Structure formats: C-alpha cells, structure tokens
Chains A and B, each alone.
Chain A
Amino acid sequence: GNSVTQMEGPVTLSEEAFLTINCTYTATGYPSLFWYVQYPGEGLQLLLKATKADDKGSNKGFEATYRKETTSFHLEKGSVQVSDSAVYFCALSPNAGGTSYGKLTFGQGTILTVHP
C-alpha cells in the first residue's frame, strides 16, 4: 500500500535559519504529492503541491521538488520566521484524476519551532 515517511522531529531553529524537512514515499503509479501545514488548534492548510515528476511546488518561500528517482518530496525554506512555527505534513494522493483522488495518505507530521 501507499505510505509516507517524514523525518523525525521536532525541529527547532533560530529565525532566518535554513529549513529542510525530509519526506519519502512509497506508492504505485504516479501519485500527486502535497505539503500541508497545521497551526495550533486549527485544521490543515495546503502549503504546496506537485502532480508529476520534477515538478516544483512553491508557496510563501517554501519549496519542494517531486523526485521520482528517489521517491522524495523534501520541504525547504531559505529563511524561516517565527510565524512558520507549526506542524508540517507530507501527503500523497494516488493519482490526479482517478476515483481515489483525495484519499490522502499522510506522514506522521514534523513539529517546527522557530525562535527569535
């Protein structure tokens, strides 16, 4: 079956530091890949997505590239801010147009804390 593995957390950084959160996946076919962010007490917000190999998703300074050869979708940001403190989830969807689209498989989440 499908699975997503995120790096062990939590991650603690100082403001303006470089961020990498690793994500690898196992899936058949060509899944779509997502990063979601969850702020305390809130639901999930889509941060970025990529639907095919070598696509780069980007938003709010965050980037992730869909690497099929390494089955990875690592999240990066060049300079984090205190406001980026949240839980980050990597997720995959079986395919972009099939009937199972939206049946997301999530990683366990990575807690990011950014200090001033």
Chain B
Amino acid sequence: DTGVSQNPRHKITKRGQNVTFRCDPISEHNRLYWYRQTLGQGPEFLTYFQNEAQLEKSRLLSDRFSAERPKGSFSTLEIQRTEQGDSAMYLCASSPRTGRFGNTIYFGEGSWLTVV
C-alpha cells in the first residue's frame, strides 16, 4: 500500500493524558498536512510542512498541540493534557511539490481520538 498511513487508527485516552499520532506520507511527497474533523463537520486545517519546515499553523492549534516532521518524511502530532473537546478524527494528508502534478492532496484514513 503506497497511500498515506496513519496510526493508531483509534485511541481512547483519559482527560489530562498525552497522546501522539503518527503519519507516513506517500513516498516522495514533500508536503504534509494535518487536519481535524469533528462529527458532522468538514475537516479543518491545522498545520502543514514542506519537507521538515513547518510553514503554517492554524489558530486552532493551541499550545497543547505540537507537530513535527524531523527528517522530512513521517510526522507526529502530539496533544498534551488532552481535553474532551479534543475528541475528533485527526487526518493527515500529503502532496507532491506544487507544479503540474502538485495539485492533488491525498488523505490518510485518519486517527480517531476519544477523550473520556
């Protein structure tokens, strides 16, 4: 499978605990994105990387959230001191460098987070 891979697919955690999600983009895609989707809503942009550089962060990304892409390949999204409002699906996506083939964004299957 050469698609965007996310894990874990499901995570249930107690309020106040930290959680980390991992995303492996499509090979050679230098852009990687994180989105959050709550029930009944469309996904909302959180942040994106070009290679290892984090180029933009949404104001939705509070100080408790941190994303990294240390070697320009996989990425992690960590949520510290989780709150019930963090319960959502966290989607990762990737795309090649912009250009003739760079205008399609491919999504993973998402990581569901439930904070109890």
Contact = CB atoms under 8 A, between A and B. Distances in A.
B28 interface: no
Contacts of A32: 103
Interface stretch (B14-22, B38-46, B62-70): B38-46
Contacts of A51: 103
B105 A99 contact: no
Nearest to B50: A99
A102 B48 contact: yes
A105 B44 CA distance: 7
Interface string A82-116: 00000001010100111111111111110000000
Contacts of A89: 42-43
B98 interface: yes
Interface stretch (A13-21, A42-50, A65-73): A42-50
Contact of A44 (B43, B44, B98): B43
A4 to B, nearest CB: 8
Nearest to B91: A43
B60 to A, nearest CB: 12
A104 B45 contact: yes
B48 A103 contact: yes
Interface string A13-34: 0000000000000000000101
Nearest to B42: A106
Contacts of A36: 107
A101 B45 contact: no
Given A43-B4, A97-B103, A104-B43, 14 more contacts: A43-B6, A43-B109, A44-B43, A46-B105, A49-B104, A89-B43, A93-B103, A93-B105, A96-B102, A99-B55, A101-B102, A101-B103, A102-B33, A104-B105
| For the complex of A and B, 4 pairs with smallest distance between CB atoms | A106-B42, A43-B109, A44-B107, A43-B107
